[in-house]
Amino acid sequence: MKITRETDHAIRCVQYLSKYPEQSFTVSVIAEKSDSPKAFLAKIIQKLAKAGIVRSMQGAQGGFKLARSPSEISLKEVVEITQGPIALNPCLIDESFCSRSNHCSVHTIWDKINNIIAKELEITDFSSL
């Protein structure tokens, strides 16, 4: 599994907002504070909003803020929003990807490692980072 640039910036964004869960910030401020390119972050924030991680605030105090408590948002959730299901190998999420999945001697090892990674990401929430 490789964390993409998009995922890295999504995590940075949620981390920053987790420090101030009751406040809203403009994309410009979040980009500056999370060391993310503004245009790239704007697209990422839209994905996070659609998934219910952040919400848009209108008006003079507008911007973006967390839609839920940092303790209710797992690292796994943010990774899956930007990258899809956690998969060390594509055969773990789609058995039709490889005709050997049913008798591959390595498949069970990939599955075991994948489950460990997914579990660690699931139990890590943004209040603990």
Give the whole-angstrom CA distance, residue 102 versus residue 123.
30
**Tell me, what's the pLDDT at 93?**
82
Q: What is the pLDDT of residues 33-90, one digit of tens each?
A: 999 999 999 999 999 999 999 999 887 777 999 999 999 999 999 999 999 999 888 8
Q: In this structure, what CATH number is given to the domain that contains residue 53? A: 1.10.10.10
DSSP string, 18-82: HHSTT--B-HHHHHHHTT--HHHHHHHHHHHHHTTSEEEE-STT-EEEESS-GGG-BHHHHHHHH
Whether residue 128 lies inside any domain: the answer is: no
Residues counted in the chain: 129
Tally of domains within the chain: 1
Residue 75 resides in a domain: yes
Q: How far apart are the first and last CA of the chain?
A: 21
Instruction: State if pTM tops 0.85.
Output: yes
pLDDT in tens, 3-28: 999 999 999 999 999 999 999 999 99
Q: Give the model's pLDDT for residue 20.
A: 96
